[in-house]
Amino acid sequence: MASNRSRTAGRHFLQIPGPSPIPDRVLRAMDMPIIDHRGPEFGKLARRVLDGVKTIFKTTNPVIIYPSSGTGAWEAALVNTLSPGDHVLMYETGQFGTLWKKMAEKLGLVPIFIETDWRSGADPKAIEAKLREDKEKKIKAVAVLHNETSTGCVSHPAEVRKAIDAAGHPALLLVDTISSLASIDYRHDEWGVDVTVGGAQKGLMLPPGVSFNAVSDKALVASKSSALPKSFWGWEEMIAMNKTNYFPYTPATNILYGLAEAIDMLHEEGLENVFSRHDRLAEATRRAVRSWGLEILCKDPKYYSSTITAILLPEGHNADQFRTAALENFDIAYGAGLGKIAGKVFRIGHLGDTNDGTIIGALALTEMALGVAGIPHKKGGVQAAMDYIGEESKKRAN
Ligand SMILES: *Cc1c(COP(=O)(O)O)cnc(C)c1O
């Protein structure tokens, strides 16, 4: 490819909150000749991933795997459970919450949108209050994001479920875990979630190209009477074909090889260890940010995300110019500010195949880039992150 930049040596620091870096083992697992997706070898692969992925969502019910990006699985969650004109209680936690709401509108649903300043997660009390007001039970679903990737704020699905139950409301609970699955603790069955939406390219360490719907019995019942049009996204045919180890149309065969490998890797490390690694890298990042004297966008620790930290630049400094300077000088890519916080924040992703060394490297490049770009800050952020990670290692060793 023609480029007027000279070759950059070594590893590119891809610190966007997804797609995240792909482990070599996953790349090698996908490096396979294509096979017949109606043949016996594929049947074995399909069984392996269809069963394996349930252990990641923590469900014993079917998980549907689509050959699409996460946005497709968002649509699938809505069109399989709802009917035109149904009210859906949604939360404006940030840009992704807003996009899901816009999708609901385009599909002919009526979103009821709880607004926020994009600096916290969904408040279960606000959800409970809206459901109590809904005497006629027009709200058919509550949709929240486990992790709002544009702001770095989580919501707590188990608390949202409790709020729905406390209001005595029959609404379904739909949860987007696209940037939290396999990174932050998640339990589809135990938390009473009806549809969980997942994606490949964030915590699951895969290339973009597959997405998921985990479904509850209640969601399956709702799908029988749901009247929104659906064909490609329809659960019924998928679930029926998956029982025979096949798919109704061509699956993303080679990504499924990668998925089987990624599931094995997650269990080899242990999901609990995967989650605590993400917690540690996130806390190290936040300590660096505070030491620099910069502000974390998410303002309440109750909502801190373990997969992405969004950082506000001081007034008068453009975050996109900072990102460009960091990329040109140090070959590091951050997530951009999206929607109404465009140009105001940059986002450090610390998810997927990321370790202590990666994050310390990324934070060191960031501290240097702040200097190069002339962003007012204090030194010592990397040291604070190192001190924290060092202390945590000592604790683990004892
Ligand atoms: C990335 C993301 C999406 C969109 O997924 P695509 O794979 O880009 O279609 C939706 N929701 C959240 C929370 C995300 O992080």
Q: Is 5 among the domain residues?
A: no
Q: Tens digits of per-residue pLDDT, 269-311?
A: 999 999 999 999 999 999 999 999 999 999 999 999 999 999 9
Q: Which residues contact 183 (CB under 8 A, 6 or more apart)?
A: 202, 203, 274, 275, 278, 306, 307, 351, 352
User: Does any ligand 1 atom lie closer than 6 A to the CB of residue 262?
Assistant: no
CA of 204 to the centre of ligand 1 (A): 13
Is the pLDDT score of 37 beyond 90?
Answer: yes
Is the pLDDT score of 381 beyond 90?
Answer: yes
Domain span at residue 304?
13-19+271-393
- Residue 5's pLDDT band, with cuts at 50, 70 and 90, is low
CA of 266 to the centre of ligand 1 (A): 21
| H-assigned helices in 90-234 | 95-106, 124-133, 157-166, 217-225
Atom of ligand 1 nearest to the CA of 199: 7
Of 241, 267, 293, the residue at which a domain comes to its end is 267
Task: Name the residue of 179, 196, 197, 306 to mutate for ligand 1: max ligand atoms within 8 A of Cβ.
Answer: 179
Q: How many CA atoms lie within 13 A of 49 on its CB side?
A: 29
Q: Is 126 among the domain residues?
A: yes
Residue whose Cα lies nearest atom 2 of ligand 1: it is 178
Answer yes or no: do 261 and 323 share one domain.
no
Of 216, 240, 267, the residue at which a domain comes to its end is 267
176 contacts 96 by C-beta, under 8 angstroms: yes
Q: Tens digits of per-residue pLDDT, 231-241?
A: 999 999 999 99
- Residue 398's pLDDT band, with cuts at 50, 70 and 90, is confident
Answer yes or no: do 224 and 360 share one domain.
no
As a whole number of angstroms, the distance between CA 104 and CA 75 comes to 8
Q: Is 4 among the domain residues?
A: no
Q: Is 125 among the domain residues?
A: yes
The pLDDT value given to residue 7: 83
Answer yes or no: do 132 and 44 share one domain.
yes
CA of 147 to the centre of ligand 1 (A): 10
| Residue 50: CATH number of its domain | 3.40.640.10
Q: Smallest Cα–Cα separation from 14: which of 313, 326, 286?
A: 326
Q: Is 398 among the domain residues?
A: no
As a whole number of angstroms, the distance between CA 327 and CA 350 comes to 17
Q: Tens digits of per-residue pLDDT, 142-198?
A: 999 999 999 999 999 999 999 999 999 999 999 999 999 999 999 999 999 999 999
Q: Is 389 among the domain residues?
A: yes
Answer yes or no: do 213 and 302 share one domain.
no
Stated pTM of the model: 0.98
Answer yes or no: do 92 and 202 share one domain.
yes
Domain count, the chain: 2
| Residue 292: CATH number of its domain | 3.90.1150.10
Task: Name the residue of 65, 75, 178 to mutate for ligand 1: max ligand atoms within 8 A of Cβ.
Answer: 178
Is the pLDDT score of 3 beyond 70?
Answer: no
Answer yes or no: do 233 and 300 share one domain.
no
Q: Tens digits of per-residue pLDDT, 245-265?
A: 999 999 999 999 999 999 999
Answer yes or no: do 326 and 195 share one domain.
no
Is the pLDDT score of 379 beyond 50?
Answer: yes
Answer yes or no: do 226 and 321 share one domain.
no
As a whole number of angstroms, the distance between CA 326 and CA 318 comes to 13
User: Does any ligand 1 atom lie closer than 6 A to the CB of residue 18?
Assistant: yes
User: Does any ligand 1 atom lie closer than 6 A to the CB of residue 145?
Assistant: yes
Q: Is 2 among the domain residues?
A: no
Answer yes or no: do 33 and 178 share one domain.
yes
Answer yes or no: do 241 and 288 share one domain.
no
Q: Is 324 among the domain residues?
A: yes
233 contacts 76 by C-beta, under 8 angstroms: yes
Q: Tens digits of per-residue pLDDT, 189-216?
A: 999 999 999 999 999 999 999 999 999 9
Q: Smallest Cα–Cα separation from 354: which of 100, 71, 23?
A: 23
Please report where in the chains the tokens 């702001």 appear, as a residue.
151
CA of 71 to the centre of ligand 1 (A): 6
Of 209, 234, 267, the residue at which a domain comes to its end is 267
Answer yes or no: do 256 and 279 share one domain.
no
Answer yes or no: do 246 and 319 share one domain.
no
